[in-house]
């Protein structure tokens, strides 16, 4: 039965890609869906991009093990800060500014807001370079699951996922991605609810009250408001995975494409509910991982070392019947395919729309679309190469890349959107301080997976302080961009 589910899913994705291909007539259609995406598709696109195999395989298992039930706070933070607050604060303003100034990408926003091609090129390079390891972490999470459930060799699993992503994305672009996101979002919601029920009813847990007693017997802190991992580590995870999403280009991209303000209001509610169910459910399941593994971290046969990324696949094998394993595989595949598609689109646009236009301003629309499709393939190949290195931990890949990108972009984007006094020098200070903090600390702590969330949170905080500090000391907003600043000021 599980093979039937997977085959049906693959077929649906390919059909959507072929149908969507007919709607692509320009690079704007390929990347933005013509800016006509409705509330349900926009909300589900945001949610399915937000949550991937990284949360179900890497985060839920590892953090649930380390923090117990208090890991659910991260899911709540993702819903209230990463979704509700993000939509309330950023969505309407982003849509208005990007429509008014015909902005298609985050690097283009930085260029038009601060009058700097250097900022545009710098941000485009950061996107393309640092979203590759993030994409690789998603591929790794997928293949851990497929290796456990379908006994597919690790490398073959990665190649199969890469091929599926490449085919439907290069055919249909964002039109295919948004349509697939809606289908995938429904699967994720249903799958999460069913998975929670089966985990609680499994004899290893024996119901909620019994499960809590068993966790408390192992360590009373596993059922406390703050788990064994400690308050600072927990808050760092909440900040990185919630506020950090505000500075990720693949998340902000969803605000460019939504059709009107009414759609923004409805999408805000839908997106928040989606995050609460999916993220809250994933961390809830992960908290009971110790009960399925006799409180022993599994050993990876390939490396001979303890591997927390194997926790959730083993829980799935023990808790779910064959048909539900198929549904679980589709759930995680759905979450990951959407995230991968968004990462690939945003990263490819950084080169084709932001760098290539600078080199060759008069490039034809059809040529640019073709180049973007080719860049999608190159990005996927690069991600696969990194993902095949099994010594790399999923959580490390995701956290360091997420922290570096958010640390670089969050402050210049947020202040540039809302504070008319933000200067070009302030934006540069935010870029450099956030990027440097993330990279230097990662090197100092030798890319320690346990430190990744704290380092990402620190880099964002440093950048948020640097931008207003330097802006108040400088005056360099070009006259050519007064209309932009005026537009921001009138709406404050």
Instruction: CATH number of the domain at 290, please.
Output: 1.20.1730.10
Segments forming the whole domain that contains residue 10: 2-394
Task: Report pLDDT for 145.
Answer: 67
The pLDDT, as a whole number, for residue 462 is 95
In a domain, 134, yes or no: yes
Identify whether 48 is part of a domain: yes
Give pLDDT, residue 491.
47
Q: Per-residue DSSP letters for 199-223?
A: HHHSTTT-SHHHHHHHHHHH-GGGG
Mean pLDDT split into 10-residue runs, the chain, 492 residues? 72 71 56 68 86 74 90 95 94 87 83 86 83 73 69 74 71 63 81 90 92 93 90 87 85 84 92 94 92 86 77 85 76 68 70 69 72 77 73 59 86 91 93 93 78 82 95 73 53 44
What is the domain count for the chain?
A: 1
Could you tell me the CA-to-CA distances from 313 to 232, 338, 409, 410 in Å, in that order? 28, 20, 34, 34
User: Count of CB atoms within 10 A of residue 269's CB?
Assistant: 14
Does residue 409 fall inside a structural domain?
no
Question: Over the stretch 212-244, which tens digit does the pLDDT of each residue have?
Answer: 999 999 999 999 999 898 888 899 889 878 988
Inside any domain, residue 211:
yes
**What pLDDT does 80 receive?**
96
pLDDT at 232: 87
Nearest to 46 by CA among 54, 37, 34: 37
* 3-state SS, residue 388: coil
Cα first-last separation, the chain? 56
What pLDDT sits at residue 21?
Answer: 63
Per-residue DSSP letter, 35: G
Pick from 434, 37, 125, 78: nearest CA to 243: 78
Whole-number Cα distances in Å, 405 to 45, 245, 442, 444, 470 = 20, 10, 13, 18, 20
Evaluate whether residue 424 is within a structural domain: no
State how far the Cα of 300 lies from the Cα of 269, in Å rounded to an integer.
41
* pLDDT value for 261: 85
- Asked if 277 and 89 count as a contact pair (C-beta separation under 8 A), the reply is no
Residue 290 included in any domain: yes
pLDDT at 115: 85
Say what the pLDDT of residue 173 is: 60
What pLDDT score does 297 carry?
Answer: 86
Nearest-angstrom CA–CA distance, 403 and 86: 17
Tell me, what's the pLDDT at 337? 66
Q: How far is CA 452 from CA 8, 287, 403, in A?
A: 38, 20, 8
Give the list of residues 6+ apart from residue 405 with CB closer than 8 angstroms, or none.
126, 127, 130, 131, 134, 247, 248, 249
434 occurs within a structural domain: no
Predicted pLDDT of residue 14: 72
DSSP state of 478: -
Query: Phi and psi (nearest 5°) for 340?
Result: -60, -45
Decide if 412 is inside a domain: no
For the question of whether the overall pTM of this predicted structure is more than 0.85, the answer is no
Q: Are 281 and 57 in contact (CB under 8 A)?
A: no
pLDDT for the residue numbered 156: 76
């Amino acid at each position: 039965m599980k093979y039937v589910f997977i085959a049906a899913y693959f077929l649906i994705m390919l059909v959507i890609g072929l149908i969507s291909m007919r709607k692509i007539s320009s690079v704007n259609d390929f990347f933005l869906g013509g800016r006509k995406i409705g509330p349900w598709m926009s909300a589900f696109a945001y949610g399915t991009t937000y949550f991937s195999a990284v949360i179900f395989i890497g985060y839920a298992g590892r953090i649930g093990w380390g923090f117990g039930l208090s890991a659910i706070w991260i899911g709540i933070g993702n819903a209230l800060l990463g979704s509700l607050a993000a939509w309330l604060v950023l969505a309407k303003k982003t849509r208005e500014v990007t429509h008014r100034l015909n902005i298609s990408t985050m690097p283009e926003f930085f260029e038009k807001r601060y009058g700097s091609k250097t900022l545009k090129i710098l941000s485009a390079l950061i996107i393309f370079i640092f979203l590759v390891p993030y994409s690789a972490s998603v591929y790794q999470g997928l293949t851990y699951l497929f290796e456990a459930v379908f006994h597919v060799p690790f490398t073959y699993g990665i190649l199969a996922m890469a091929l599926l992503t490449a085919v439907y994305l290069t055919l249909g672009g964002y039109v295919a991605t948004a349509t697939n996101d809606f289908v995938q979002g429904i699967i994720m919601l249903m799958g999460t609810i069913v998975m929670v029920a089966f985990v609680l009813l499994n004899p290893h847990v024996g119901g909620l009250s019994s499960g809590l007693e068993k966790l408390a017997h192992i360590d009373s802190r596993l059922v406390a408001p703050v788990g064994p991992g400690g308050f600072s580590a927990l808050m760092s995870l909440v900040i990185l995975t919630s506020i950090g999403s505000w500075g990720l280009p693949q998340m902000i991209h969803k605000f460019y494409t939504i059709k009107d303000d009414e759609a923004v209001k409805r999408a805000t509610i839908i997106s928040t509910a989606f995050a609460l169910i999916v993220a809250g459910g994933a961390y809830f399941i992960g908290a009971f991982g110790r009960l399925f593994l006799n409180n022993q971290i599994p050993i990876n046969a390939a490396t001979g070392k303890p591997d927390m990324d194997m926790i959730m696949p083993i829980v799935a094998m023990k808790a779910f019947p064959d048909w539900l394993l198929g549904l679980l595989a589709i759930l995680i595949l759905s979450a990951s395919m959407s995230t991968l598609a968004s990462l690939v689109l945003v990263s490819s646009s950084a080169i084709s729309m932001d760098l290539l236009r600078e080199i060759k301003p008069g490039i034809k629309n059809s040529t640019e679309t073709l180049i973007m499709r080719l860049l999608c393939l190159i990005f996927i190949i690069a991600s696969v190469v990194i993902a095949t290195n099994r010594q790399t931990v999923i959580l490390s890949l995701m956290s360091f890349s997420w922290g570096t990108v958010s640390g670089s972009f969050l402050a210049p984007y947020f202040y540039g959107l809302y504070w008319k006094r933000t200067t070009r020098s302030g934006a540069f200070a935010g870029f450099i301080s956030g990027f440097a903090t993330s990279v230097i600390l990662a090197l100092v702590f030798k890319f320690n997976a346990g430190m990744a969330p704290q380092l990402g949170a620190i880099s964002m905080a440093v950048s948020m302080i640097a931008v207003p500090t330097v802006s108040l000391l400088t005056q360099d907003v070009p006259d050519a961009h007064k209309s932009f600043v005026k537009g921001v000021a009138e709406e404050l």
